[in-house]
């Protein structure tokens, strides 16, 4: 299978390319230098020239706070870019995977969100990702919408790398403890995405590593596994002002994943352990 992967220089796109190769598929990687998602002509020209058998759309505008000011650019990438790709997928009659986020929900309560629960984004970024979902559903029948949260991978910056860096520089760190969710190791998510496109089990999925934690608990586990001695102080969200509202509840239920017979991702603690090993290998190179 020939698969076009957008956002190939990001954490998830990088790992998707790896798993396509492992599963003996041909991956065509594209980033902004190859294809401008905000240009319908550029997207059409690139995709129709490549004639892929499937698209895994990992690229996105993800600067959550900046999106509150750059509304037009955020929506141009996340909504229009997704629409243009979906139009190409429809024209070629191929499968498309769209990566979405926990931010499409309200972030309220303390129960895991089910795939079909009411959507109520609390910021510009979340609304743009939801509108991207709606474009995919409007234009395609052969689609997978896969929501992830709190992503971490070897190729790019993330919370784990930030904590490891700060943990070596400071003796005390303050981390919010009133936002709860599921970390997602992009290597695990990528493996699942590639297995998904080998099926016709279309629909909306939640694909995070199993188990829930606060950012504070996540940080504690990071330092424990890294054997870094640092005091982590729990604080509430109001301590850190951000332009965009963050969900307090980012728990996602993998109900549809289980129902369709896909393997749920390993626990986030297990994922973190394997990730640490990969980071050590990178440093050794």
Positions annotated as catalytic residues are 125
CB 205 within 8 A of CB 145: yes
Q: Which long-range contacts (CB under 8 A, 24 or more apart) does 29-36 make?
A: 29/5, 30/4, 30/5, 30/6, 30/59, 31/6, 31/7, 31/59, 32/59, 35/6
Closest CA to 125 of 183, 180, 85, 68: 68
Distance CA 113, CA 177 (A): 19
> Going edge to edge, which strands form the sheet with 95-101?
26-30, 2-6, 54-57, 95-101, 143-148, 203-206
Distance CA 3, CA 29 (A): 8
* Maximal C-alpha separation, the chain: 56
DSSP 118: P
User: Please, which residues bridge with residue 3 across strands?
Assistant: 27, 54
CB 168 within 8 A of CB 230: no
CB 206 within 8 A of CB 256: yes
Read off the tokens for 260: 């369709």
Contacts with 96 (C-beta within 8 Å, 6 or more apart), sequence order: 54, 55, 56, 57, 85, 86, 89, 136, 140, 142, 143, 144
Closest CA to 273 of 187, 206, 204, 201: 187
């Amino acid at each position: 299978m020939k698969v076009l992967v957008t956002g190939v220089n990001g954490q998830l796109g990088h790992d998707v390319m790896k798993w396509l190769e492992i599963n003996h598929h041909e991956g065509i990687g594209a980033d902004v230098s190859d294809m401008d998602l905000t240009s319908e002509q550029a997207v059409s020209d690139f995709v129709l020239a490549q004639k892929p058998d499937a698209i895994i759309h990992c690229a996105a505008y993800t600067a959550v706070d900046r999106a509150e000011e750059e509304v037009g650019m955020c929506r141009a990438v996340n909504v229009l870019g997704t629409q243009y790709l979906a139009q190409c997928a429809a024209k070629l009659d191929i499968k498309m995977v769209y990566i979405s986020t926990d931010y499409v929900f309200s972030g309220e309560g303390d129960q895991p969100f089910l795939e079909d629960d009411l959507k109520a984004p609390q910021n510009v970024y979340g609304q743009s990702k939801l509108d991207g979902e709606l474009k995919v559903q409007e234009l395609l029948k052969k689609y997978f919408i896969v929501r992830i949260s709190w992503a971490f991978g070897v190729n790019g910056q993330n919370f784990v790398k930030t904590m490891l860096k700060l943990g070596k520089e400071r003796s005390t760190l303050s981390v919010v403890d009133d936002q709860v969710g599921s970390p997602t190791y992009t290597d695990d998510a990528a493996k699942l995405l590639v297995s998904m496109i080998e099926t016709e089990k279309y629909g909306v999925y939640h694909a995070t590593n199993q188990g829930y934690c606060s950012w504070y608990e996540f940080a504690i586990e990071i330092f424990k596994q890294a054997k870094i001695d640092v005091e982590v102080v729990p604080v509430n969200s109001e301590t850190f002002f951000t332009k965009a509202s963050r969900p307090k509840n980012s728990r996602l239920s993998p109900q549809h994943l289980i129902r369709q017979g896909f393997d749920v991702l390993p626990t986030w603690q297990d994922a973190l352990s394997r990730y640490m090993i990969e980071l050590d290998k990178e440093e050794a190179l």
